[in-house]
Copies of this chain bind each other. A is one copy, B any other.
Amino acid sequence: MKLKIVIPILRPPSVQNYDEIASRFQKVTSKCTEVGITYLEKGPASIECYYDEALAVPDILNKVNEAKEEGYDAVFIDCFGDPGVRAARELVDIPVVGAGEPAMLLASLLGERFSIVSILKNIQPLIAGNAKVLGVDSKLSSVRYVNIPVLELQDEKRLLVSLQKEMIAAIEKDNAHALILGCTGMTRITDSIRSILISQGYNVPVIDPVAAAIKFLEMLVDLKLSHSKMTYMPIPEKIRYQ
């Protein structure tokens, strides 16, 4: 299958070719999945609040549309806030997911309750609202945050220290039985944080939302399933200026 990954931010100056990016995603795809990468031409440098999300969505939808025209089988919008996911599903028939919904559904399966540890306090209401609309809010113990902006997540040490603190608090104070990394920029440290938690005596599932999302899309394509066109109906024709 051909999977389009829409990274819903402006291309960072540090990213010169997409092969390295693609190879990072290929680590979690099935062997026969072919990956295409795109960034936005218009939008924010990172998504950390409703405002960022709003600015990213129109170009996300352009990219989803392109993916359909290029013959992709599925689209992953690489952000935990699921920006533009619902509009995209109206636009195309192929499956589209963000990083939030698949991880929350998987966590619902794995434990009685789960917590999400995201980046900044700003994003907490958006994530909690998405859990309500998805219908799993009774399973959500808490949305915590490491208090590190997306663009500083590359400081792995700082991230791990803060993640560990918040994840243990989620377990001890909020009774979480499973944990989700609440930002796609965090997922490369999944193995490290799992090891740290286990070394501290906390053997709970830690979900990498990027990997979960990609697996969900592969599953949907395999099962010949896509979102319901009764929920995401075809778009009425009309004049629209972008």
A61 surroundings in chain B (CB, below 8 A): 51, 54-55
Interface positions, chain A 183-242, Cβ under 8 Å from B, are: 203-205, 207-208, 211-212, 215-216, 219, 222-223, 225-233, 235-236, 238-242
Instruction: State whether A133 touches B136 (Cβ < 8 A).
Output: no
Instruction: State whether A228 touches B178 (Cβ < 8 A).
Output: yes
Interface size counted on chain A using CB atoms at 8 A: 84
Binds B, one of A14-22, A36-44, A70-78, A156-164: A36-44
A204 surroundings in chain B (CB, below 8 A): 228-230
The count of identical subunits is 6
Given contacts A120-B236, A223-B208, contact A228 B57 (CB under 8 A): no
State the CA gap A211–B224 with chains docked (Å).
Answer: 11
Q: Report A122 CB to chain B, min CB distance, Å.
A: 4
Instruction: State whether B120 touches A129 (Cβ < 8 A).
Output: no
A45 surroundings in chain B (CB, below 8 A): 238-240
- Nearest to A194 among chain B residues (CB) is B224
CB < 8 Å neighbour of A177 from B90, B110, B225, B230: B230
Given contacts A54-B87, A55-B240, contact A112 B231 (CB under 8 A): yes
CB < 8 Å neighbour of A205 from B10, B46, B177, B226: B226
Which residues of A pack against B, CB within 8 Å? Answer: 10, 28, 30, 41-46, 48-55, 57-58, 61, 84, 86-87, 89-91, 97, 101-102, 105-106, 108-112, 120-122, 124-126, 128-129, 132-136, 138-139, 149, 151, 171, 177-178, 203-205, 207-208, 211-212, 215-216, 219, 222-223, 225-233, 235-236, 238-242
